[in-house]
Amino acid sequence: MAEASTIPAPEGATGVLVLASGDVIWGHGFGAEGSAVGEVCFHTAMTGYQEIMTDPSFAGQMICFTFPHIGNVGANPEDFEADDPHALGMIVREMPTQPSNFRSVETLSEWMAKHNRIGLAGVDTRALTRRIRGGGAPNGVIAHSATGEFDIPALLEQARAWPGLEGMDLAKSVTRETHGTWDGGVWRLGFGYGAAGEGERPHVVAVDYGAKRNIYRNLVAAGAKVSVVPAEATYDQIMALNPDGVFLSNGPGDPAATGDYALAPIRRLLDEKVPVFGICLGHQLLALAAGAKTTKMFQGHRGANHPVKRLDDGVVEITSMNHGFAVDRDTLPANARETHVSLFDGSNCGIELTDRPAFSVQYHPEASPGPQDSFYLFERFVGMLGNAA
């Protein structure tokens, strides 16, 4: 890493990451050309890069993958968590190779270019990860130019001008625009995505703050009928669909900012004792609605191997996480009981309300960590709805 004003582009460099601190990291660009500004974070998963890039929770962020071989299974049209990638770009150690997987239909570079996302390879990702661990997630600009020509001072100014994720509501930018239904089930090799079974099913209305599709699939697999509404749906709009329970999805940005419009309907749902289940941002919003506070984390949790302890019985779940904000357990009200904690740093990872049928977790049970350690949460929620259908 070097100061922006002192280092020229090395020969052959076609990509660069410029941090707000003035550090410049050179490499080889792939995917789309151009530039993008946001927060730089790291992710420790060894697989699932396509699902990670399309997770709406990564809006406003670029991802440094700690696993060195990203792209070796190519890209396909099934492994999407949303219609398009939401992460701004990716930073990797090795240039993606030609894919070797029977499901691949295009290279990662081709997929990135098609979706206007920038890749930067040839980076010492271990050094960048250590920098984030020690100094927190920085703001930065990722850029790719086939000619190797970059206006570094301008990129630095752009990085320093970006306000950061704290106080930023991004759910509005990634949510669906209209109410819809969800019928698809989980994916199976050789069969693709299944469909919901016949007969009466409890009806779950999911509020889309930037949801991953596999959440809806797992709700269906657990026995629910699922409808989806936009992030700004009101209590009346939600209840007009006659839900047996309401799901609060994951999503990007600062939960306190999203709470400006999300908390009023959630509080009304709690007052009316409608069953509620939240994941990630939905967990944070449930806590805020109950009276707790959230805080910006120093580096966040992003990976597929995070150990979380279940306080009721001491069982440790291996979980998938992606969050940069956390619930402050010291602000939980008397009717909110902590249910899960991270074994990495002790932060809160789950709550339930003692006087309402509502619970939530900070991690992502739908991402198949463990791989099935956390599916019980979907079964628990749908089971709460009983014979309400």
DSSP class per residue in 282-351: HHHHHHHHHT-EEEEEEEEEEEEEEEEEETTT-PEEEEEEEEEEEEEGGG--TTEEEEEEETTT--EEEE
pLDDT given at position 191: 84
Q: What is the span of the domain harbouring residue 13?
A: 2-161
10 falls within a domain: yes
Chain-centre distance for alpha carbon 118: 18
Write out pLDDT tens, residues 199-223: 789 999 999 999 999 999 999 999 9
314-324 average pLDDT score:
97
The total number of structural domains in the chain stands at: 2
166 falls within a domain: no
Answer whether residue 388 shows pLDDT above 50: no
249 falls within a domain: yes
CB 252 within 8 A of CB 58: yes
154-178 average pLDDT score:
97
pTM exceeding the 0.85 threshold for the entire prediction: yes
pLDDT given at position 2: 53
Answer whether residue 196 shows pLDDT above 80: no
Write out pLDDT tens, residues 125-165: 999 999 999 999 999 999 999 999 999 999 999 999 999 99
114, 140, 161: which is the final residue of a domain? 161
Write out pLDDT tens, residues 41-94: 999 999 999 999 999 999 999 999 999 999 999 999 999 999 999 999 999 999
Q: Edge to edge, what strands does the sheet with 225-230 contain?
A: 180-182, 225-230, 203-208, 245-248, 276-279, 358-361, 348-353, 336-342, 293-310, 316-328
Average pLDDT along the chain: 95
Write out pLDDT tens, residues 255-302: 999 999 999 999 999 999 999 999 999 999 999 999 999 999 998 999
Task: Find the CATH number of the domain harbouring 224.
Answer: 3.40.50.880
User: Domain check: are 273 and 140 in the same one?
Assistant: no
Helix and strand counts by DSSP (H, E) for the chain: 10, 20
229-236 average pLDDT score:
98
User: Domain check: are 155 and 108 in the same one?
Assistant: yes
Tell me the pLDDT band of 7, cut-offs 50, 70 and 90.
low
Query: Can you state the angle between helices 281-290 and 255-271, rounded to 10 degrees?
Result: 60
* Residue positions annotated with a catalytic role: 280, 364, 366
Residue 5's CB: how many other CB atoms inside 10 A? Answer: 10
- Dihedrals φ, ψ of 374, to 5°? -115, 10
Q: How far is CA 261 from CA 231, 275, 285, 315, in A?
A: 8, 20, 11, 36
User: Domain check: are 90 and 224 in the same one?
Assistant: no
User: Domain check: are 125 and 214 in the same one?
Assistant: no
User: Domain check: are 154 and 175 in the same one?
Assistant: no
Q: How far is CA 363 from CA 3, 86, 203, 375, in A?
A: 37, 19, 23, 12
Tell me the pLDDT band of 251, cut-offs 50, 70 and 90.
very high
CB 57 within 8 A of CB 209: no
Tell me the pLDDT band of 389, cut-offs 50, 70 and 90.
very low
Tell me the pLDDT band of 188, cut-offs 50, 70 and 90.
confident
389 falls within a domain: no
324 falls within a domain: yes
pLDDT given at position 1: 53
140, 161, 182: which is the final residue of a domain? 161
